[in-house]
Structure 1
Amino acid sequence: MPEFPRSDFRLHVGWRNIKTSVTAMLVAMVYCLIGRNPAFACIGVIFGMGTDMPDSIKNGGNRLFGTLIGGLLSIAVFWVYLHFYPQGGHSMLLAVLLGIATVILILLCQYFWPGGVQPGGVVLCIVLYSTPVETYVSYALNRILDTTIGVIVALLVNYFLPRERVVALWEGFKKRIGAAK
């Protein structure tokens, strides 16, 4: 069992922390300016900002493909559900459909992107149990879009500002500041 709290912990704000927080903040500002809720784009940023590009691709891909598979699957399942109960409200059928959809989700993720099961399951459950009948399609599609934007922005920032480049820029900045004194 892991030790809690960790005895080797030391407080440290590193470049990944700074890149993640600044990128999430900028995405949130752009979303606020265009009148959209930034929550899922910012979640995409946070998932997509890894320690390096392979880590970013793995974690961002988990979020992106999980959301894509779970979102599209939730639309299909909700559509089936609404054929039987157009006004909604029959939770036993929805529970059975969720069970079937979870099996399908896991199989699709195993085929396309194995790490997408958890984020895909989250989207599936939220759409099926927390989205009004009138907006389930637009909600799922917007969630996919916003997650995609957040992950892509994180990947771009991590690609153009890898740790090595950021550290070199920072060291150069410190030298210039030191020389100016």
Structure 2
Amino acid sequence: MRNIKTALAVFICIIVFAIMGPEFNPLFAAIAALITMGPSIEDSVESGWNRILGTIYGGIGGMLGIFIANLISFQYTYIAIIPIGLIVIIYFCNNFKKTGAISIACVVFISIMTTYPLEMGSYMLAILRLLETSFGIIVAFLINRFIKVPKCDEKIADSLVAKEENEKLAKTDENSSREYKKLKVVSILYMIFKP
């Protein structure tokens, strides 16, 4: 069902932007919808909030990058600004415990920084990228909110989740057992060879 909902969200983004005209690009809305779509509404809410924050962070970073690039008269300054900006954005998101926002923040920042020399007013382009990405996030959230998984699929999904959790627990127990055996061997060796 997630596959269908993801495809539907991307389809809606493409249709809306096609209706709006050729000057609007559905790429960033479609990417945001794709990244935001979660297996459940709870995941989409959390993911959507992270994506909105990431879009804001990336947009602000992109506008600052444009400002710095415009201050320096060298034509290819933005090429040096992109990796530095990515480092700053990732550092910022990690420090504020918003790791879920990192990917979309970086996507928005790169999209703004790589397209601003080519088109219309750079700040307007940055705002347009923010709006496009936000549109994709909202579409994914609404689709995930209002299109429900059929009941029989929920039982299958629950059993798959339970199976995954059991497998994780089994791996954890296996790893603990290995660690215990290693510790036991090391302690025996220590007892034999201790000075």
Cα 1:84/1:61, change in 2 over 3 Å = same
Give the alignment's TM-score, normalised by structure 1.
0.69
Is 2:117 the partner of 1:132? Answer: yes
Cα 1:26/1:100, change in 2 over 3 Å = closer
Matched residue SS, 2:2 = helix
Cα distance in 2 for residues equivalent to 1:163 and 1:145: 29
Cα 1:47/1:90, change in 2 over 3 Å = closer
Q: 2:19 aligns with which of 33, 36, 59?
A: 33
> Deviations for 1:10-63, whole angstroms, at most 9, x for unmatched residues?
xxxxx1111221232123212211223222112222122211012223433443
Cα 1:164/1:124, change in 2 over 3 Å = same
Q: Bigger radius of gyration, 1 or 2?
A: 2
Number of the residue aligned with 2:53: 65
Structure 1, unpaired ranges of 5+: 1-14, 169-181
Number of the residue aligned with 1:50: 38
Residues 46 and 154 in structure 1, CA contact (< 8 A), matched pair in contact too: yes
Indicate the RMSD between aligned Cα atoms, in angstroms. Answer: 2.7
Cα 1:28/1:98, change in 2 over 3 Å = closer
Deviation of 1:100 after TM superposition, in Å, equals 4.1
Cα 1:166/1:136, change in 2 over 3 Å = farther
Aligned residues: percent identity? 28
Cα distance in 1 for residues equivalent to 2:123 and 2:97: 22
Residues 16 and 50 in structure 1, CA contact (< 8 A), matched pair in contact too: yes
Amino acid at match of 1:55: D
The range that moved more, 28-37 or 157-166, is 157-166
Number of the residue aligned with 1:12: none
Amino acid at match of 2:93: C
Q: 2:106 aligns with which of 100, 121, 142?
A: 121
Amino acid at match of 2:137: V
Q: 2:88 aligns with which of 91, 100, 104?
A: 104
Give the alignment's TM-score, normalised by structure 2.
0.65
Number of the residue aligned with 2:72: 84
Residues 40 and 143 in structure 1, CA contact (< 8 A), matched pair in contact too: yes
Residues 55 and 130 in structure 2, CA contact (< 8 A), matched pair in contact too: yes
Matched residue SS, 2:127 = helix
Amino acid at match of 2:47: N
Cα distance in 2 for residues equivalent to 1:153 and 1:18: 14
Residues 70 and 124 in structure 1, CA contact (< 8 A), matched pair in contact too: yes
> Deviations for 1:52-109, whole angstroms, at most 9, x for unmatched residues?
0122234334433222211211111220221121xx5143x751x4454334312332
